[in-house]
Structure 1
Amino acid sequence: MAKRSSGQKLATALLTSLPLFAVLGSTAALSGCGFQLRGYDTPMLFNVAKTAVIIEDNRTSFPLKLPLTRRLEALGVEVTDNMTSADVANNNKNATAEPIAAISVNNIRFKRYELVGVLTEIRLVISADVSYQALQNGKVVTLTNPIQVERSYQYNEASVSTDDQQGDQVRDWLYDSLARRITDQYVAIALPRVAPASANTPSQTGSASTAVIVPNAPNP
C-alpha cells in the first residue's frame, strides 16, 4: 500500500507539471523558429534577424524599452539597443555586413485631461512618433507613423490617500499598450510578403477563379 501511495503521488506530480512543460516548450519553439499565421503553410520568419531599438534616454521614454524588447524577443527578434540611427544606416551600406532593421521611438509625451465632478474623471494619453526601417525585396523601406494610446479612470481627491496610485498603474498599462501597438506595426512591415496557403490551393469544386468586387463608397 505504501508503494502504491507513493506511485500515485508521483503520477499526480507528473500530471500537474505537464502544462508547465508544454508552456516552456511552446515558448522555446516560438522564439527559436518564428511563428506561424493561420492559413500559411510555413512559419513566418523576419527578413532581418536583428533589430535595433532606438529610444531617447530620458525619464519619459526609457520605461518603454523593457516592454517593447520583451514583445519583440517573444517573436524571435534579436534586439540590440546600443546603436543609433546613423550606426544602422552605416551598417546597411556595407555589403558584407549583416543587415539590421531599426525601430526608432521619439517624442514620447503624456497628456492629462480632467473632468471635475463628484469623482474626477481623468483621461491619460501617451503619444509617440515611431519610425520603422526594414528590408523588403532587398530594399530598405522606412515608414514613420504617430501612435497614440489612451485610458480613462476615476480619482477621488477627497479620499484619505492623496497619492494617485491608479494613475501610476495606468501609466504602466499605457507603456505596455504602446509597445504592443509598435510590435504589431513592425510585424506588418517586416514580415516577408508570402501568399497564404488558400491562395495557392485550387478549389475542390473547379478551377474557375472568383472575382471579388468592392462597391464604391456612397457619395456624402
Structure 2
Amino acid sequence: MLDKHQAVQSHQKKSSRQKLAKVLLATLPMLTVLGATAGLSSCGFQLRGYDTPMLFDIAKTAVIIEDNRTAFPLKLPLTRRLEALGLDVIDNMTLADIANNSNNVGADPIAAITVNNIRFKRYELVGVLTEIRLVLSADVSYQTIENGKPVTLSNPIQVERSYQYNEASVSTDDQQGNQIRDWLYDTLARRITDQYVAISLPKVAPASANKSSQTLKSPEKTTVIVPSS
C-alpha cells in the first residue's frame, strides 16, 4: 500500500510540474514582446547591420487624423506603434499649430503625420459562397525636417484582404467582416509607421558597407612564398 501511495504522489508531482512548464511556455512569448517594447521605448531601436541604435532627429510627432467614424479607429493602433519606437505622440495639434511652433525661436521641432480621405471599398463576387474583397485606402503626408528645412512627402496607401461570407447561414451578422476591418486598420497603421521610419531615419551607412569600404581602401598585404628548387 505504501509503495502504491508513493507512486500516486510521484505521479501528481510530475503532472504538476508539466502543467507549470506549459504555463511558463505559454507566457514566454508575451514576456518577450513586453521586454522588447520596453527596450524600444527607452533607448530607440537598432536595425540589423547598423553599429548604433537609431534615434529620430525629431522626438515629437503630431498625428493628425480626420474626426469621423471611419478615420477614428486608426488613431489608437497608429499611436501605439509610434510610441513603441520611443516617439512622443501628440494628437491635439493642427498643421497651423505646427507652423506656429516652427516660427518660435527655441521651441522643440515637431514632425507631423497627416492622414486624410480614409475610405473603405467593398467588392463582392457572388457564388455558392460570396467572395468579399475589402479595401482600406488613405492619403498620408509626412512632414519632417531635413538639413534644417521642412520637408513634406505625400503617399497614398492601400491595404486589402479577401474572405468568404455565407449569406445563407443562420447568423446574418458579418462577424468575420468586422474582424477584417480591425485587421486592416492595424495593417494600415503598420504601413504608415514603416514609411515614417524610412523617411525619418538618419542617413547612416550600415556596418557592412563601412567594413567593405575600409577593405577596399586598405587591402591586406599578401606574402607569396616560392619553394626553392
Structure (1 or 2) with the larger CA radius of gyration: 2
1:80 correspondence with 2:90: yes
Q: Report Cα offsets for 1:43-67 as digits up to 9, x if no partner.
A: 0000100000000110000000000
1:133 aligns to 2:147 (yes or no) = no
Q: Deviations over 1:78-102 (max 9, x none)?
A: 1010101111111112221000000
Counterpart of 1:53 (choices 54, 63, 66) is 63
Matches within 5 A, 1:13-162: 16=24, 19=28, 23-162=33-172
Moved more, 179-188 or 19-28: 19-28
Task: Provide the C-alpha distance between the structure 1 equivalents of 2:68 and 2:95, rounded to a whole number of angstroms.
Answer: 17
TM-score relative to the length of structure 2 = 0.80
Secondary structure of the residue aligned to 2:179 is helix
1:185-208 alpha-carbon deviations (Å, 9 max, x no partner):
000111111111122225686537
TM-score, with length taken from structure 1 = 0.83
Identity over aligned pairs, percent? 78
For 2:112, give the aligned amino acid. A
Distance 2:198 2:85 in 1: 13
Mapped partners of 1:168, 1:25: distance in 2: 31
- More helix by proportion, 1 or 2? 2
User: What is the CA–CA distance in structure 1 between the aligned matches of 2:137 and 2:172, rounded to whole Å?
Assistant: 27
Task: Indicate which of 182, 192, 195 corresponds to 1:172.
Answer: 182
Q: Which runs of 5+ in 1 are unaligned?
A: 210-220
Give structure 2 stretches of 5+ with no counterpart.
1-12, 220-229
Which moved further from structure 2: 53-62 or 193-202? 193-202
Mapped to 2, the partners of 1:189 and 1:168 lie a distance apart of: 32
Match of 1:199 among 187, 209, 217: 209
SS in 2 for 1:107: strand
Deviation readout 1:96-147 (Å, 9 max, x if unpaired): 1000000000010001011111100111101100000011222211001111
Aligned residue pairs: how many? 199
- Name the CA distance, whole Å, in 2 between partners of 1:62 and 1:72: 16
Structure 1 counterpart of 2:196, one-letter code:
Y
1:140 is matched by which residue type in structure 2?
P
DSSP-derived class of the 1:57 partner: coil
Q: CA deviation at 1:25?
A: 3.8
Deviations 1:132-173 (A, max 9, x none): 001122221100111111111100000000111111011001
> CA separation in 2, counterparts of 1:193 and 1:172?
34
